Amino acid sequence: MVLMVTIAAAGDLHASPATREHLAEAFEALEERVDVVLLAGDLTTHGDPEQAEVVAEACRGLDVPVCAVLGNHDLHLGFGEEIAGMLTDAGVRVLDHAAPCAELCDGEVGVVGTKGFVGGFTGSALPDFGEPALRRLYAETTVEVEAIRAGLQQVAHCPIRVVLLHYAPTSDTLHGEPEGIWTYLGCDRLATPIAEYRPDVVLHGHSHAGSFEGAIGTTPVYNVAVHVTGRNFYVFELEAHEVEVETRA
């Protein structure tokens, strides 16, 4: 029997009290339609706990597992730990470099998640050289890269493996954004463990004006920021080592 899992993904919800009703309806519409919900960061507008509670309310009581990573907006005001705790209390599995993976659907689906970070791409990458502040930035990206690697090692036995990020691991999905800011939208160093372990699909957000589809080797990469997909959630039908993108509106 072929394993098939339906995943709903979205990034950059930018929730606030003004979007409470809209998000509640969007999440409720997923019931009995999907097996897993994945949130690719920037769940809040500015990282205010009041905004995070809107997402927590929408997730609380869902009958399907929800995994999330935080984004730069969620961390902006310094309440990242509090926001992660609120989401966790609502039943969301928040993944980061300290806890980069979760097994869902009785271990059939392995989700590897962390926010990723900046650093740029070939021809405009930040180096591990120079003043300490710049090298600390490089080192933070290294921590994120190693989290992806560790998570993929831990879920290597899962028939379906998904990597969930906020920042882009390839410039493929940044086309549409000014090239001058690509360095701050992601980093191709994040792609190294992905190319090595070849998960079934990579999902990210952050790039509102970017492109939907790219690849790292044979692994498809999708930018699921709601500004790019034009939907509350994008739904993927996944089999082991294959991904079929939903085409219906």
CATH number of the domain encompassing residue 185: 3.60.21.10
Angle of CA points 129, 132, 137, to nearest 5°: 80
Residue that the structure tokens 């980069």 belong to: 100
Residues 8/37, Cβ–Cβ less than 8 Å:
yes
Q: What is the pLDDT of residue 249?
A: 30
Residues 183 and 21: their CA atoms lie apart, in Å, by 35
Q: What is the pLDDT of residue 2?
A: 52
Residues 123 and 128: their CA atoms lie apart, in Å, by 15
As for how many domains the chain has, the answer is 1
Count the Cβ atoms, other than its own, within 10 Å of residue 100: 25
Q: What is the pLDDT of residue 194?
A: 98
Residues 127 and 229: their CA atoms lie apart, in Å, by 33
Structure tokens at 84: 């992660």
pLDDT per residue, tens digit, the chain (249 aa), is 457 899 999 999 999 999 999 999 999 999 889 999 999 999 999 999 999 999 999 999 899 999 999 999 999 999 999 999 999 999 999 999 999 999 999 889 999 999 999 999 999 999 999 999 999 999 999 999 999 999 999 999 999 999 999 999 999 999 999 999 999 999 999 999 999 999 999 999 999 999 999 999 999 999 999 999 999 999 989 986 555 555 433
Residues 7 and 33: their CA atoms lie apart, in Å, by 9
Q: What is the pLDDT of residue 36?
A: 96
Residues 219 and 209: their CA atoms lie apart, in Å, by 22
Q: How many residues does the chain have?
A: 249
Q: What is the pLDDT of residue 3?
A: 77
Give the pairing type, strands 234-239 and 242-245.
antiparallel
Structural domain of 37:
4-245
Residues 3/243, Cβ–Cβ less than 8 Å:
no
> Chain centroid to CA 4: how far?
21
Residues 167 and 145: their CA atoms lie apart, in Å, by 12
pTM: 0.95
Residues 148/154, Cβ–Cβ less than 8 Å:
no
